Amino acid sequence: QPNVVTVADMDAADALNLINEAEEYKHGKKAELTRPAYAANLFFENSTRTKTSFQMAEMKLGIHVMQFEAGTSSVKKGESLYDTVKTMESIGVDVAVIRHPENEYYRDLIKHPGLKIGIANGGDGSGQHPSQCMLDMMTIHEEFGNFTGLRVLIIGDLAHSRVAHSNAMMLNRLGAEVYFAGPQEWYDDELAQYGTFGDLDELLPQMDVVNLLRVQNERLSGVENGAFDAEKYHEQYGLTHKRYSKMKRGAIIMHPAPVNRGVEIDSDLVEAPNSRIFRQMQNGVFVRMAILSRILRYKGIM
Ligand code: CP
């Protein structure tokens, strides 16, 4: 694939191949490049995990990493995203990993026939987060070995979450049963094609995977933000000890992080025995190695 921008472009076989390669990297597979390769991580929104784990993936693959900070770049002088990316290509960068607040920012880039640089989407607004989605799929696959018939509950800020949109779509493609819970006003009708919205406390005891979402204060409107009561949210939709005790035996907890401790989840459950939150981060490096490998193979560099 020339670009990895949305899981909508990936069918179940593609996704399983990517998970398989990520698992191979985790178990020690080494990559060989046909020539020196260069990547730039262009982050126009804050990030800890996605940016550093793409950097780690690049280093593990032997790719040279170009330094780029949006805050001190010529974007501040009004340079467009296209011109920024084209500049990276002109100086010899092979792959750009981009995070941007605008939904589907990548559409305008990938339709340019002249743009040869590969693009990996590190998250677009409330649109897609394909690398997070695939590290979540890898974590579920590692735990259960398959997706068919698995029950996955996605809880919380569904409307603003690119993780919810990517994961619901891909889980549905892979044969899992998808359920949603959280505040009705944060539900997105578009998700109905992938699963069923219901009551958190009725659904929770039947679920194999409890996928919590971060409350995205930065994407709430001023009115929503003003009205948001973290304590009330925790009581109504958070993973409290009481809810934790009702989870099915063998069920796992996931959260893309950063976690609002005490809001989406009781702080001391973040590292509960069946939490996979830090495993997700570990798997993120290997999934990102597999994503970059796809792009490099397409470009003949691997
Ligand atoms: N999960 C995730 O995307 O984290 P960052 O925003 O820190 O990259």
Residue 219: per-residue pLDDT: 64
Which CATH number belongs to the domain containing residue 108 in this structure?
3.40.50.1370
Q: Are residues 60 and 22 in the same domain?
A: yes
Q: Report which of 249, 157, 153 is spatially closest to residue 204, judged by C-alpha positions.
A: 153
Per the structure block, which two tokens stand in for 71? Answer: 């805050």
* Band of pLDDT at residue 222, cut at 50, 70 and 90: low
What is the Cβ-side half-sphere exposure of residue 84, based on CA atoms within 13 angstroms?
A: 24
- 128 CB near ligand 1 (under 6 Å): no
Q: Are residues 121 and 231 in the same domain?
A: no
3-state helix, strand, coil in the chain (%, to 5): 45, 15, 35
Q: Measured in angstroms, how far is the CA atom of residue 51 from the centroid of ligand 1? A: 8
- Residue identified by tokens 């569904």 is 158
Residue 226: per-residue pLDDT: 72
| CA–CA dist 255, 181 (Å, integer) | 14
- 101 CB near ligand 1 (under 6 Å): no
Residue 227: per-residue pLDDT: 77
Q: Are residues 137 and 165 in the same domain?
A: yes
- 52 CB near ligand 1 (under 6 Å): no
Pure H helices in the chain: 12-26, 49-61, 81-90, 106-110, 130-144, 162-173, 200-203, 222-227, 230-237, 241-244, 277-298
- Residue identified by tokens 């909508």 is 8
| CA–CA dist 247, 199 (Å, integer) | 14
Residue 1: per-residue pLDDT: 77
pLDDT at 224 over 90: no
Q: Are residues 260 and 146 in the same domain?
A: yes
Q: Supply the ipTM of this predicted assembly.
A: 0.99
Q: What is the H or E stretch that residue 96 is in?
A: strand 95-100
Kindly report the backbone phi and psi dihedral angles of residue 274, in degrees, each rounded to the nearest multiple of 5, phi listed first: -100, 15
Overall number of domains in the chain: 2
Q: Are residues 40 and 54 in the same domain?
A: yes
Residue 223: per-residue pLDDT: 65
| CA–CA dist 100, 98 (Å, integer) | 6
Q: Measured in angstroms, how far is the CA atom of residue 257 from the centroid of ligand 1? A: 6
Q: What are the pLDDT digits (tens) for 227-285?
A: 789 999 999 999 999 999 999 999 999 999 999 999 999 999 999 999 999 999 999 99
| CA–CA dist 156, 230 (Å, integer) | 12
Q: Report which of 282, 224, 251, 234 is spatially closest to residue 60, judged by C-alpha positions.
A: 282
- Residue identified by tokens 């009551």 is 199
Q: Are residues 110 and 136 in the same domain?
A: no
Per the structure block, which two tokens stand in for 104? Answer: 């589907």
pLDDT at 290 over 70: yes
Q: Are residues 135 and 235 in the same domain?
A: yes
**pTM of the full predicted structure?**
0.96
Residue 31: per-residue pLDDT: 94
Mean pLDDT across the stretch 288-300?
98
Q: Are residues 88 and 163 in the same domain?
A: no
- 49 CB near ligand 1 (under 6 Å): yes
Enclosing domain of residue 73 = 3-129+282-298
Q: Are residues 222 and 261 in the same domain?
A: yes
> For a pLDDT cut of 70, what percent of the chain falls above it?
98
Mutate to test the pocket of ligand 1, among 41, 42, 46, 50 (most ligand atoms within 8 A of CB): 50
Q: Are residues 195 and 110 in the same domain?
A: no
Q: What are the pLDDT digits (tens) for 66-110?
A: 999 999 999 999 999 999 999 999 999 999 999 999 999 999 999
Residue 122: per-residue pLDDT: 98
Q: Are residues 134 and 275 in the same domain?
A: yes
- 200 CB near ligand 1 (under 6 Å): no
Q: Are residues 146 and 13 in the same domain?
A: no
